[in-house]
Structure 1
Amino acid sequence: MKVDLHVHTSKYSACGVSSPEEMVGAAIASGLDAIVLAEHDYMWGEAELADLQERFPGIKIFAGIEVSIDAAEHIVVIGVPDRQLFAPFMAPADLIAAVRQHQGAAILAHPFRWGPEVRRDILEVRLDAVELYSNSIRNYMQQPIRRLLQKLQLPCVASSDGHHTKQLGLYAIELRQPAKDDKDLARMIRQGCFRIWANPERINEINAIIPGEGKKLSIPD
């Protein structure tokens, strides 16, 4: 089961370009089996998610949330159904407490994207994974992220961090078995029951128009 853990839409993310319907359609066309709608500081409600799912039975759609710890540091949360538990600029310790209470998963999104360091209070909590590959992670960020992964002894994930349709289908994780629901997906992330998946051909197409080697997208080994 190929899952994109980090997808935005224009409906609930101000930086989103494509509609939910366009993003889901592109995910299906890219061969993905599931996506997580992880909007900025917003979680899709159960009823509206069910409506979207009913219209697109060819793919599994999960609800997550990308919480802004500050303007630069973001954590993607999966498997916690109560959106009221999360708010912009909340303390990382409070976020992790909510995640642990509900057996969810917390993923550090695009570290080093906006600066050379990660906040100390984020490093002091127990995350479940760190993004190593996405449309928001360029070659120059690879080395510091790998050092961070080694320091924290955490698995890496790949996801699109997609804001428009052309960004889908580049990166995902591939589960060892299908996830029944978001709780099951969170469990597999916590337990590392997945491998990195990428589409090198699509990545190379995008890299062909990106100037500078350091700013290009990375292709997993």
Structure 2
Amino acid sequence: MSSKVDLHLHSTASDGVYSPTEIVRMAADNGLEYIALTDHDSVAGIAEALAEAEKHPGLTVIPGVEISTDIAAGDVHILGYFVDWRNPDFVLKLSGMRDSREERGQAIIVKLAELGMPLEWSRVKEIAGDAVIGRPHITQAMLEKGYISSFAEAFEKYIGRDGPAYAERIKLSPAEAVTLIESAGGLAVMAHPFTLPDVEVLIEALIPVGLAGIETYYAGYGDYEIEKLRRLAQKSGLVATGGTDFHGLDQKTEMPIGGQTVPMSAVKGLLGRLNRQL
């Protein structure tokens, strides 16, 4: 495995399958040198990941988060790197967002029942374990019932943004997320930009409030997309970062930890921005 960097990983602290400890061990086994744990609206797995990283001297874990935000055109995800994961105000804000995720999950369950696909809330909570309940947990319950044949089908037909069982939750604006990450001493990076139309306009609008980078080397992006984002980052004075967005949900289709080639310049660029910010 050629990549030494993966800056987009999820654990059981949000909607991933593997614990923070397991994520760090897999990264070490795959020969990575830098990873970031970026759970959805949660830093609950950071302490565990950092403790495990001490057992793997060649691996550095960057404390991170992925914050879901909203604009008219769809969801915008903002990654935060080097956040102060013990900052009480930051943790409290994330906690409120996670509570909203659970309320959204309950609303989705109601809508699915109305569509003839009843699920037990207790089973969804059991699947989630200690993690914040997310749509992947609901999808797993749907798979168990035989309502769908794949994760993709659940999102495409039922619980994606335009699906009949979709439910909204409390979200920040992209600018508010960037500001929140900065308030915790972190660097804000736009995740998987090509999920949005007119992304260049949005990026330009976020630079004045502190956007530090663009996720450029992303799982599933081809050479054309990567080069376009690399040039955009260079033109805008932003760091070109990258990662797999690993959740561990589907081994047949999901790229493994470190499977996306991300240059070491992504880490060096972030460290350079962080040093200028301090």
Contact 1:112 1:145 in 2 (8 A): no
Tell me what 2:147 maps to: none
Between structures 1 and 2, the one with greater strand share: 1
- Aligned match of 1:125 in 197, 206, 210? 206
- Aligned match of 1:155 in 239, 246, 249? 239
1:60 deviates by 2.5
Contact 1:135 1:167 in 2 (8 A): no
* Cα RMSD, aligned residues only: 3.6
1:74 deviates by 0.5
Q: Secondary structure at the match of 1:97?
A: helix
Distance 1:191 1:51, change over 3 A: closer
- Aligned match of 2:256 in 160, 167, 181? 167
Unaligned runs of 5+ residues in structure 1 are 180-184, 193-221
Deviations 1:35-87 (A, max 9, x none): 11101111136643444345555533232100011363111001222333444
1:190 deviates by 4.8
Aligned mates of 1:131, 1:90 — CA distance in 2: 20
Q: Secondary structure at the match of 2:176?
A: helix
Within the alignment, does 1:36 sit opposite 2:36 as a pair?
yes
Query: Which AA in structure 2 matches 1:84?
Result: L
Tell me what 1:116 maps to: 197
Aligned pairs, number? 183
Tell me what 1:74 maps to: 77
What does 1:1-221 align with in structure 2 at a 5 Å threshold? 2-9=4-11, 11-14=12-15, 16-44=16-44, 47-54=47-54, 56=56, 59-70=59-70, 72-81=75-84, 82=87, 83-86=91-94, 87=97, 89-113=171-195, 115-118=196-199, 123-126=204-207, 127-139=211-223, 141-142=225-226, 145-146=229-230, 148-149=232-233, 152-164=236-248, 167-170=256-259, 171-174=261-264, 186-190=270-274
Contact 2:7 2:36 in 1 (8 A): yes
Normalised by the size of structure 2, how large is the TM-score? 0.53
| Percent of pairs with identical residues | 31
Contact 1:36 1:64 in 2 (8 A): yes
Aligned mates of 1:120, 1:141 — CA distance in 2: 17
Deviations 1:89-115 (A, max 9, x none): 2122222223334442111110113x4
Shifted more, 21-30 versus 47-56: the winner is 47-56
Contact 1:103 1:187 in 2 (8 A): no
Query: Which AA in structure 2 matches 1:6?
Result: H
Aligned mates of 1:172, 1:101 — CA distance in 2: 27
Aligned mates of 1:90, 1:19 — CA distance in 2: 27
Unaligned runs of 5+ residues in structure 2 are 98-169
Q: Which structure's CA Rg is the greater one?
A: 2
Distance 1:112 1:84, change over 3 A: same
